[in-house]
Amino acid sequence: MSSTKSFGPERFHRHAFVWFSAEDAHFQSDSSLRDWLEPGRPLIVRRPCLSADGSEVCVGLALPPNPIKQRIAYSLPRALVREVSAPPLWKDCSTDLEPLQLAAEAGGAELRTFGSHAWQHLTGLPYVTETSDIDLLLFLNCRQCWETISQSLEQVCALKEPGIDLEIVLSGDASFSWREFVGPSTRVLFKGNSRVWLGEKSDIVDCLPGK
């Protein structure tokens, strides 16, 4: 059994994927969850990520569309986690969107994905359909990266397509939609690991270290 000390609380942020051992007695009473975990399939961390005392991980299961999407929420013992991973790199899931990939690299960031393409890549199950959105992530940790990458992203025409959604995560917590950022409003919706709030676009730089 893993110890909660093996994976510090900072590892459990939104969009992270976690793996549990289905052999533990905790899962014997839930056959559906056990059957999902037995082949080594992951769950995804959801808000608020951890319980108040840090002993449980808030996770979700997104099942393949059959024919509609189904999502199930769980709170599972953190001590039973055997692996935690950042969302997969987009380039490991698809070779499309090269201009966006290059824009991310220009800012020293890695383009990742957390939606249907991520689930399909991690499980081998059929998630991606003709109507699937492309859910992308950029984790930024400094103001210079944001300045560079925001300028590069403004030149990427693919981001104007309705099926491509890019979420930018600041310092591992506050995130916002690029589509909202380039919209006419001066405010954006920030989504954090424990809360959601409406803020000014100018707040973005305050969420990042640096000058």
Which sequence positions are flagged as catalytic?
Answer: 133, 135
How far is the C-alpha of 47 from the C-alpha of 193, rounded, in Å?
A: 5
Cβ-contact 49, 13 below 8 angstroms:
yes
CB 134 within 8 A of CB 179: no
Contacts of 182 (CB under 8 A, 6+ apart): 154
Residue 14 structure tokens? 């939104």
Q: Phi, psi at residue 104, to the nearest 5°?
A: -65, -45
Q: Which two tokens stand for residue 110?
A: 């890695």
Distance CA 113, CA 167 (A): 9
* Cα distance between residue 23 and residue 132, in whole Å: 33
Q: Other C-beta atoms within 10 Å of 169: how many?
A: 24
Using an 8 Å Cβ cutoff, are 167 and 176 in contact? yes
The C-alpha atoms of residue 73 and residue 191 are separated, in whole angstroms, by: 18
Cis amide prior to 48 (ω within 30 degrees): yes
